[in-house]
Structure 1
Amino acid sequence: MPEHYRTRPHASQLGPYLTLMQPFTLWLGLGVLFSLVTLLSSIGMIALSGWFLSASALAGLSVGTAATFNYFLPSAGIRLCVLTRTAGRYGERLTSHEGTLRLLSQLRRHIYETIEPLSPAALQRHGSGELLTRLTADIDALDSLYLRVLAPSLVALLAIIGCGVVIGVFSPGIGLFAATALLLSGLIGPWLAWRLGHRHTAQWQALNGRLRAQLTERLAGLPELVLYGRWEAEADTLDHGQCQRDAEECHMARLWGLSQWLSQTLLGLTLSATLAMAAWLATHDSLDPTLVALMGLTVLAAYEAIALLPQAWQNLGRIQHAARRLESVGNHVPTITFPRHDRARPRDASLVIDDLHVAFADGTQALHGVTLKVESGEHLALLGPSGSGKTTLLDALVRFVEPQCGNLRLGQVALHDLSEDTLRESFAVAPQDIHLFVASYRENLALASPEASDEEMIDLLTALGLGDWLKEQPAGLDGYPEEDGSSLSGGQLRRFGVARALLSPAPVLLLDEPTEGLDETTAARVLDEIDRCCRGRTLLLVTHHPAGLDRLDRVAILDAGRVQEVDTPQP
């Protein structure tokens, strides 16, 4: 992740997001330009309308003035402003949203590129629901920074200047006063809204993110919660969280109403003072009386750009909180790094594990001085009770966890000297928890071997005892599993994961509990197919069941994180 994602205090946390805007400056700049054109067209339309009505009324006082009054030119100007306003509004929507969507797409890519190198252990610090919230709600919150804060604020400033210029052409003093008063209205209201509300909006964003993450996780475990009669209690917890979030939202609404009242009051004072000065000049000086309405309506039109600023700046706290949460993801620098290119190439598919020590973040020691050698093409079973460190050893081999000390070598080359591409191509893994993507069964299998034919897939599934299951699928390999593979039983899902690993051409296979949950006959069938498919390849099979291990070359017994014994299996 780039350095600009490191933690910064206060508003500077928005710096990374502002930096990401640079490639889309043209789109975002055009959005501001079209917004300004729209607003100036509104000011022009309303100002011209006010002058036109006043001038028409005065021209109608006598036959002579009515005959000489040119009403074609101002009416044409009003129509031009209406058309320009419509075109500007369309252009603003097109360009600003195009730029914002591209920007959000880039931001999502940056966040994903931050998450992707992290090991599963690092990702578990957040949880799937929390990560999902950060990738959706937090990033979506940032689109308000440009659309509702930056662009409107810039347009409002330019509109205030434009209002002062339009009025100042006829009366510089009134133009200066109107611009100054509008500027104060555009500063005081938004500042107070931000000052009083940014903590509440940040708290709302925090509560909303927590609620979304909890809801995602609770729905994933809904069957267990229902079975154990805990769903009502969890629902009450979620309801309490929603009430807290709604209370913050009500508080924000009250503050927004207060800021609107203040802004409207300042507008009324500004408008009254502008009209009073214009009327005085029209009565005691040479100001054309038809310009009084023009000046008042110009102030009203310019206020259109200021009206929404208090609510926008009130939500700045929500935007900053979202930026902080996204930064916290970027702060988790991967503890496991890979060289860009291989420092050496493995000579064969042998594995050497030498004095390996692995401890978790909480200090729990998972592996204590594990030493083990697996020759190229050898089939080794790693036997031991649950919690003995077998899965941790596999995670260390694929570099999901980093050992505190010890050496791991593949083909006489240290694993940390291999690029990630080479390491992933060298190992095929069937973990305990098999994940099926929302894609066809064919695509899920082709994940390990894109070149595999349908015939190879069907033959392998049949050999693993999934032939009848496949025939029951209406679309065969073109069928889609339900989310997380819930349409398959636990044993079917595990065998599907084994099939995916066996299809891979990788020289080393790591199978974690491939026969867990299977009956004795099916387990023997699976082990026979594993033995057949792994001939000539190195196999490390993790299990805590000794049955059927006579097919393998050796068995290593792991207990309490230590290798207790290595021997040939007994029939």
Structure 2
Amino acid sequence: MSESRPSPARGTLAELAPYLAEMRPHLLLLATGLALNLVAVASSIGLIALSGWFLSASAFAGLSVATATVFNYMLPSAGVRLFATTRTLGRYGERVATHEGTLRLLSRLRRKVYLAIEPLSPAALQRIGSSELSTRLTADVDALDALYVRVLVPSLVAALAIVGCAVLVGVFAPMIGVFVAVALSISALLGPWLAWRRGSRHADRWQRLDTSLRARLLERLETFAELSLYGRWGAERDELLSRQRERDDEQLTLARRWGDSQLLSQLLLGLSVTGALALAAWWSIHHGLNASLVALIGLGVLAAFEALMMLPQAWQELGKVNRAARRLNQLSESVPTIRFPDHDLAEPSDQRLSLRGVELAYDGHPVLRGVDLELAVGEHLALIGPSGGGKTTLFNLLTRFIDPDAGSLRIGGVPLASLSEASLRKRFAVALQEVQIFSATYRDNLRLGARDIDDRSLIEMLEALGLGGWLRDQPEGLDSWPDEGGSSLSGGQLRRFGLARALLSKAPIVLLDEPTEGLDRVTQAQVMAHVHACCRNRSLIAITHRLQDLDAFDRCVIVDQGRIIEAGAPRALALDPDSRLSALYRELRL
């Protein structure tokens, strides 16, 4: 027996169900928008149908003096003015209500997505990729605003317009009412079905191409300087343009498919109006239908198509909305690999760190192998070793960005996994190689981990790290705003800015990853002297490749291929001719 698959409709409904549920708090506002849209469409149908009847009835009444004198011109003219007014007011009110409801709904959806992302560890988010994550948070969430405005409202209004128009015509001629119901229903289903059937595959491909182009463009813009220096920007630009043309070709194909469905809808419109007029004329001849009502029926059917013309686009939008919902559902249904308790399960006795038998592998490749490490309260420890040896991984373990496959990590005798996230975060200040600058003033960026610190302390910290001149060059000092991602800062300035943010924190344990990378020797010495001064009563672990700075540390640990191969006081190891550190000194002739 072949495996059964869910129908597309059932799959679509399942994907959209979480977002349909988010409409519940704003149901009154959204229902008001739908009702006002119905008022506008009904008024439009009434206006055109009544105008057609009024003109034809006036023409017939004018054929003789007797009928002209008794014909009531005032009542239908008042109806025309009423429908014109309610159509305008309904359309305006519908715009206000639906857009207000949509904006509120989008606000809830963004919050829902952020709440789903927040528990995920940085390692899990890195697997998704920053550009892909950005697309889901922006383009995919924005696509969901079409669910109500461009999908639900047009579909419901079209269905009610078909019923209303068929009932209106059926009052005068039941058979014509049945014909109108059938003709409008076929038009409402066939055009959108064609748009869905022929455009779905191209829409999927366009989505993939657009996401890929966004990701590649973002990556290439971030490395623009390097690509230009090595003469690669021209080739990369041509590649980007080629991908853009491929995406645009797919978008053009989509537009053509939509145009085909619109053409079919127009053809069905003509056939429906022609059929309704022919039946009305036949009914007038054989069943005595008032001749002026023939125009009312024909124009009423014509006006009803205003509500149907948006259906092909609505169904095409439904495909985009469904794909966006599917991608966001994958994100929101991700299970956090790192879980924190709501409160501390035990209180650490002090800030002493202890790692025992720690092992970790990435995709089956060992990164750490049986690591044992102690950090006493107030101890300053240097981690050295070749790149890829596992030093940064130790930082990720201590901050619980990842958890080990085996072994234990404790602080004050308590497992790190026993601490709540807030409790763990306040114990560590971290400055990584990649410094994140947020869209806020420099003051707010510096006070990220110390909200109550004053401006004087901020300025003193920047001066001590050699950023005083840079600060004085800022037009508004600490109130200045950085460029996107801190692009106006050089690499060394950015590194020291992140270092200042970590040192300003009151956390008892400081983790620094290459704090002086990219600085000249004088500035390096100045920065490291200030680091040790700031951490006089705090524990410090610093990853460094500068052997000249080791004497200021209490202990150095050499990590290579995931193992600790040597540990001890830097001076003692340097004097031991058989030590690995002594060999490194000899290689560098220090």
TM-score, normalised to structure 1, is: 0.95
Q: Who is 1:223 aligned against?
A: 225
The partner residue of 1:346 within 327, 345, 348 is 348
Deviations 1:411-434 (A, max 9, x none): 111110111010111111111111
Q: What is the 5 A alignment of 1:102-501?
A: 102-360=104-362, 362-501=363-502
Contact 1:382 1:555 in 2 (8 A): yes
- Tell me the CA shift for residue 115 of structure 1: 2.1
AA partner of residue 216 (structure 1): L
> 1:70 offset after TM fit, Å?
1.0
Q: Which amino acid aligns with 1:37?
A: V
The one-letter amino acid paired with 1:385 is P
Farther off after superposition, 387-396 or 24-33: 24-33
Q: Distance in 2 between matches of 1:25 and 1:420?
A: 36
Rounded Cα–Cα distance in structure 1 between residues aligned with 2:174 and 2:408: 81
Hey, what's the Cα distance between the residues in 1 that align with 2:469 and 2:320? Answer: 54
Deviation at 1:477, TM superposition (A): 1.6
Q: Deviations over 1:227-259 (max 9, x none)?
A: 122222222222222222222222222222222
For the aligned residue pairs, the C-alpha RMSD in angstroms reads 1.6
Q: Is the 8 A contact 2:555 2:568 kept in 1?
A: yes
Which amino acid in 2 is paired with 1:161? Answer: V
Amino acid in the other structure paired with 1:557: I
Q: How far 1:10 sits from its partner (Å)?
A: 4.9
Q: Which runs of 5+ in 1 are unaligned?
A: 1-7
1:67 to 69, 76, 79: 69
Superposed displacement of residue 323, structure 1: 2.0
Q: Are 1:96 and 2:98 matched, yes or no?
A: yes
The code of the aligned residue for 2:489 comes to: L
1:566 corresponds to which residue? Answer: 567
Residue identity matched to 2:508: P
Code of the aligned partner of 1:410 = I
- Counterpart Cα distance in 2 of 1:378 and 1:66: 107
Q: How many residues align?
A: 563
Q: Deviation per CA, 1:32-72: give whole Å up to 9, x if none.
A: 11111100000111111011101111111111211111111
Q: Is 1:47 aligned to residue 49 of structure 2? A: yes
Distance in 2 between residues matched to 1:23 and 1:413, nearest whole Å: 44
Q: Secondary structure at the match of 2:124?
A: helix
* TM-score (norm: length of structure 2): 0.92
Alignment partner, residue 584 of structure 2: none
1:201/1:315 contact within 8 Å kept: no
**Equivalent residues of 1:137, 1:209 under 8 A apart:** no
The 8 Å contact of residues 146 and 321 in structure 2, kept in 1 or not, is answered as: yes
In the alignment, the residues of structure 2 paired with residue 478 and residue 281 of structure 1 have an alpha-carbon distance, to the nearest angstrom, of 79
Q: Is the 8 A contact 1:198 1:315 kept in 2?
A: no
Deviation for aligned residue 1:21: 2.0
Q: C-alpha distance in 2, partners of 1:79/1:213?
A: 54
Separation in 2, partners of 1:10, 1:49? 42
SS in 1 for 2:350: coil
3-state DSSP class of the match of 1:373?
strand
Q: How much has 1:11 moved relative to structure 2?
A: 4.9
Contact 1:356–1:368 (CA under 8 A) maintained in structure 2: yes
Structure 1 stretch displaced more, 321-330 or 390-399: 321-330
Q: State the Cα distance separating 1:328 from its structure 2 match.
A: 2.6
- Find the aligned partners of 1:254 and 1:137 in 2 and give their Cα distance: 23
CA distance in 1, matches of 2:232, 2:330: 32
Equivalent residue of 2:373, what SS? strand
- Structure 1 position 517 matched with structure 2 position 518: yes
> SS in structure 2 opposite 1:169?
helix
- Distance across 2 between alignment mates of 1:93 and 1:542: 58
Task: Give the Cα separation in 1 of the matches to 2:550 and 2:473.
Answer: 32
**2-structure distance, mates of 1:10, 1:62:** 61
Q: Give the 3-state SS of the residue equivalent to 1:110 in structure 2.
A: helix
Q: Distance in 2 between matches of 1:121 and 1:509?
A: 21
Whole-Å separation in 2 of the counterparts to 1:491 and 1:448: 21
**Structure-1 separation of matches of 2:569 and 2:295:** 101
Conservation of the 8 A alpha-carbon contact between 2:356 and 2:408: yes
Q: Compute the displacement of 1:9 (Å).
A: 4.4
Secondary structure at the counterpart of residue 352 of structure 1 = strand
Q: Percent identity, aligned pairs only?
A: 58
Which residue number corresponds to residue 4 of structure 1? none
- Measured in 2, the distance between the counterparts of 1:469 and 1:192 equals 62
Whole-angstrom CA distance in 1 between matches of 2:257 and 2:484:
43
What is the CA–CA distance in structure 1 between the aligned matches of 2:547 and 2:94, rounded to whole Å? 70
3-state SS of paired residue (1:547):
helix
Separation in structure 1 between the aligned mates of residue 254 and residue 489 of structure 2, nearest angstrom: 47
Secondary structure of the residue aligned to 2:307 is coil
State the Cα distance separating 1:436 from its structure 2 match.
1.5
Q: Give the secondary structure class of the aligned counterpart of 1:452.
A: coil
Give the unaligned 5+ runs of structure 2: 1-9, 573-590
SS at match of 1:381: strand
Alpha carbons 2:512, 2:541 under 8 Å: kept: yes
Contact persistence 1:383–1:542 (CA under 8 A): yes
* SS of the residue 2:382 aligns to: strand
Contact 2:155 2:314 in 1 (8 A): no
Give 1:480's aligned amino acid.
W
Deviates most, 24-33 or 420-429: 24-33
Q: Partners in 2 of 1:183 and 1:144 — Cα distance? A: 23
